[in-house]
């Protein structure tokens, strides 16, 4: 059986715990290999390596650091298909989406490599003569990363590439469900010639390894993507130690369809956003807010399309919807469907665990659509993280925006309309971090900030140039070349 080990200080090492956990393929139940389970001591070893490595890394000119990122981009590109296959086997998303996810990491590598020659600060005029003023970005130090399984290569690329180009070192705990793609990503850094100790991979549970990262006094910042429940705990613990935390958490994203929308386009957008990645994207569409004038027609067209979706192993190119990540996720989704029925929502299709056609060994849930859902029902408010969408009828754009904004999350939203005035109204009033006009709720491009408002985040962004704000401190520098003491605000007034 394949064994996966920690990567600490440039070496692949087994935890002293001697314990291993198995990794399975969610489409087939097949065991893929086993993974070392680490302890607090392993985390500490990783932190010591990171500390040592960061001392010299921070002094390497950023354009030189970026050379390694370009190499990472090249290697990812060469291995794109192989990485996509590993991703699909381990996590279940269909192969086309897995390829897209690897591409996201490639794009991020080149984009952040470019930052090696930018990392812009400001030069501004001083209010005094013969004085120079500027602000520069400096690394924060040691970054602790805790990441989820649903985008196991994209999310670590959003975090690690900006962190490294700006001079930090990393201790990373990937999700327990996706250890193999994590190892491959680290191997790419190794092959690209990243100095040892800058990227450390520590496998293990959230409660042991995750908490050890959060609690470690020498880790300066925590970047976490995952559920609200865990994010809140992390923020409390890390906040008590005055650590910087960047949190990207759940969503309850909605597509709004107005009565003037191109309905075919809206259906395409909804199908892709609600059932792609089996509804397990943080930006997945789980609410469909529709003007009552087009509700029946939209339902009819959606049902027609859902009936054509093919479930199965994501490695099969003809499959549209893969499995969900594990058994407990499958049960949670099914539980939500029961809650929806109890609350009086009308089930249009799906609503069951699939156990036929040879799919019984995997974790397959039938694409599900509810209608006549009220905005205050639990299925309209809580993150389900599966292929379940709910139609909520409304009477106007204003009501649609109110419903969209009524949940505790604020990640992504979308509106389909051909009316430019109403599109701009929506762009102004939808309160999410990401807004789409005439596209579904998913599909971020890496050079724009990614993240959400309200319960989705704590004000930071992954990706885009905004990511640099997480991994750098501002240093303001004044150079007085007047040869005398000049007091700002005093000597010049
Ligand atoms: P999760 O259960 O919160 O896990 C995320 C990570 O946290 C995993 O590495 C997990 O480790 C770790 N963890 C669990 N308990 C911990 C603890 N007590 N202390 C420290 N770390 C701990 O979330 P998930 O189920 O993997 O991912 C799905 C969630 O992520 C959804 O809510 C989704 O919306 C969100 N998400 C958000 C974004 C975004 O950018 N906004 C993107 C993708 C996903 P183990 O795997 O070992 O449990
Ligand atoms: Mg797995």
Q: Is residue 196 part of a domain?
A: yes
Strand order in the sheet with 412-416: 346-349, 368-371, 388-394, 285-291, 253-257, 412-416, 434-437
Whether residues 344 and 462 share a domain: the answer is: no
343 in the same domain as 217: no
End position of a domain, from candidates 389, 405, 437? 437
**Average pLDDT, integer, range 159-176:** 98
Whether residue 185 sits in one domain with residue 63: yes
- Ligand 1 lined by 328 (C-beta under 6 Å): no
Q: What angle do CA 364, 368, 371 make, to 5 degrees?
A: 170
Distance between start and end Cα atoms, the chain? 76
Res. 357: pLDDT tops 90: no
Question: Quick one: 242 and 377 in the same domain?
Answer: no
**Half-sphere exposure (CA, 13 Å, Cβ side) for 447?**
6
Nearest to 457 by CA among 227, 123, 169, 172: 227
Task: Establish whether residue 150 lines the binding site of ligand 1, counting it when its CB lies within 6 angstroms of any ligand atom.
Answer: yes
26 has pLDDT over 90 = yes
Q: Is residue 487, in this structure, part of any structural domain at all?
A: no
Which of 107-137 are b and which e, b meaning 16 or more Cβ less than 10 Å from the residue's Cβ? bbbbbbbebbeebebeeeebebeeeebeeeb
Cα separation, 264 vs 270, in Å, equals: 10
Identify which ligand lies nearest to the alpha carbon of 328.
1
Residue 380 DSSP symbol: G
Q: What is the DSSP string of 240-255?
A: HTT-EEEEE----EEE
Q: Give the Å distance between the CA of 88 and the centre of ligand 2.
A: 9
Share of the chain above pLDDT 70, in %: 100
The domain tally of the chain equals 2
Which tokens sit at 461? 């962004």
Q: Are 37 and 205 in contact (CB under 8 A)?
A: yes
pLDDT at 7: 98
The CA-atom distances, in angstroms, between 199 and each of 66, 125, 186, 322, 340 are: 15, 39, 7, 31, 44
Q: Tell me how far the alpha carbon of residue 91 lies from the centroid of ligand 2, in angstroms.
A: 5
Question: Degrees (nearest 5) of the Cα angle 128, 132, 136?
Answer: 135
Same domain, 217 and 300: no
388, 356 contact by CB (below 8 A) = no
Average pLDDT value over all residues in the chain: 98
From CA 367, how far away is CA 434, in angstroms rounded? 25
**Gap from CA of 205 to ligand 1 centroid (Å):** 11
- What CATH number is associated with residue 44? 3.40.605.10
- Whole-number pLDDT of residue 443: 86
Index of the ligand 1 atom closest to the CA of residue 251:
34
**What is the arithmetic mean of pLDDT over 235-248?**
97
- The pLDDT of residue 296: 98
- Do 282 and 176 fall within a single domain? no
Does one domain contain both 230 and 285? no
Shared domain check, 352 and 243: no
Q: Nearest 10 degrees: CA dihedral of 39, 43, 49, 51?
A: -160
Please indicate, yes or no, if residue 152 is contained in any of the structural domains: yes
Q: What is the Cα–Cα distance from 96 to 190, expressed in whole angstroms?
A: 27
Q: What is the mean pLDDT of residues 251-267?
A: 98
Q: Is residue 261 located within the same domain as residue 376?
A: yes
The angle, 0 to 180 degrees and rounded to 10, between the axes of the packed helices 62-78 and 80-91 is 70
Question: Do 141 and 289 share a domain, yes or no?
Answer: no
Question: H or E element: which one contains 211?
Answer: helix 211-215
Is residue 228's pLDDT more than 90?
Answer: yes
Per-residue pLDDT at 243? 97
Q: What is the mean pLDDT of residues 478-492?
A: 97
Q: What is the position in ligand 1's atom list of the atom closest to the CA of 149?
A: 26
Whole domain around residue 19: which residue ranges?
Answer: 3-249+457-477
**Beta bridge pairs of residue 476:** 135
217 and 306: one domain?
no
- pLDDT tens for residues 335-353? 999 999 999 999 999 999 9
446 is a domain residue: no
Asked if 229 and 382 count as a contact pair (C-beta separation under 8 A), the reply is: no
pLDDT of residue 2 exceeding 90, the answer is yes
Residues 6 or more apart in contact with residue 331 via CB below 8 angstroms: none
| 213 in the same domain as 325 | no
User: CB of 383 closer than 6 A to ligand 1?
Assistant: yes
Identify the CATH number of the domain in which residue 390 sits: 3.40.309.10
Q: In the annotation, is 282 catalytic?
A: yes
478 within 8 A of 133, measured Cβ to Cβ: yes
The pLDDT score that the predictor gives to residue 99 is 98
**335-457-287-325 Cα dihedral, nearest 10 degrees:** -40
Q: What is the per-residue pLDDT for 194?
A: 98
Is the whole model's pTM more than 0.85, yes or no? yes
- Averaged pLDDT for residues 45-59: 98
Residues 301-315: pLDDT tens digits? 999 999 999 999 999
């Amino acid at each position: 059986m394949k064994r996966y080990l920690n990567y600490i200080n440039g070496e692949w090492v087994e935890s002293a715990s001697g314990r291993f956990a198995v990794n399975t393929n969610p489409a087939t139940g097949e065991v893929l290999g086993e993974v070392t389970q680490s302890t607090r001591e392993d985390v500490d070893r990783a932190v010591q390596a990171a500390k040592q490595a960061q001392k010299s890394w921070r002094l390497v000119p950023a354009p030189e650091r970026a050379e390694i990122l370009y190499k990472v981009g090249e290697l990812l590109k060469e291995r794109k298909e192989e990485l996509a296959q590993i991703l699909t086997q381990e996590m279940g998303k269909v192969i086309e989406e897995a390829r897209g996810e690897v591409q996201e990491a490639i794009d991020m590598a080149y984009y952040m490599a470019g930052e090696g020659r930018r990392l812009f600060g400001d030069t501004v005029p001083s209010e005094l003569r013969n004085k120079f003023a500027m602000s520069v970005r400096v690394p924060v130090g040691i970054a602790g990363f805790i990441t989820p399984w649903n985008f196991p290569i994209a999310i670590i690329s959003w975090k690690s590439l900006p962190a490294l180009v700006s001079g930090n070192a990393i201790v990373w705990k990937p999700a327990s469900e996706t250890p193999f793609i994590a190892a491959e990503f680290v191997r790419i850094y190794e092959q690209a010639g990243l100095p040892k100790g800058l990227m450390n991979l520590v496998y293990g549970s959230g409660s042991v390894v995750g908490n050890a990262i959060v609690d470690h006094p020498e880790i300066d910042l925590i970047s976490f993507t995952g559920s609200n429940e865990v994010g809140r705990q992390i923020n409390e613990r890390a906040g008590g130690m005055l650590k910087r935390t960047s949190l990207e958490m759940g969503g309850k994203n909605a597509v709004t369809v107005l009565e003037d929308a191109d309905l075919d386009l809206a259906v395409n957008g909804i199908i892709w956003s609600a059932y792609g990645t089996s509804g397990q994207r943080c930006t997945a569409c789980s609410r469909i807010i529709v003007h009552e004038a087009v509700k029946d027609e939209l339902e009819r067209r959606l049902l027609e399309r859902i009936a054509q979706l093919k479930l199965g192993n994501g490695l099969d190119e003809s499959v549209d919807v893969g499995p969900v990540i594990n058994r407990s996720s499958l049960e949670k989704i099914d539980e939500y469907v029961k809650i929806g029925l109890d609350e009086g929502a009308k089930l249009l299709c799906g609503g069951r665990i699939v156990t036929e056609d040879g799919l019984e060994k995997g974790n397959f849930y039938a694409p599900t659509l509810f209608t006549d859902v009220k905005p205050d029902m639990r299925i309209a408010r809580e993150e389900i993280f599966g292929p379940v969408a709910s139609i909520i009828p409304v009477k106007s754009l204003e009501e649609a925006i109110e419903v969209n904004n009524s949940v505790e999350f604020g990640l992504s939203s979308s509106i389909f309309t051909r009316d430019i005035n109403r599109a701009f109204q929506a762009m102004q009033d939808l309160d999410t971090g990401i807004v789409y006009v005439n596209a579904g709720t998913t599909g971020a491009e890496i050079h724009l900030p990614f993240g959400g408002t309200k319960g989705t985040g704590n004000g930071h962004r992954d990706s885009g140039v905004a990511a640099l704000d997480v991994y750098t401190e501002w240093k303001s520098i004044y150079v007085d070349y007047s040869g005398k003491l000049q007091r700002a605000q005093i000597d010049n007034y």
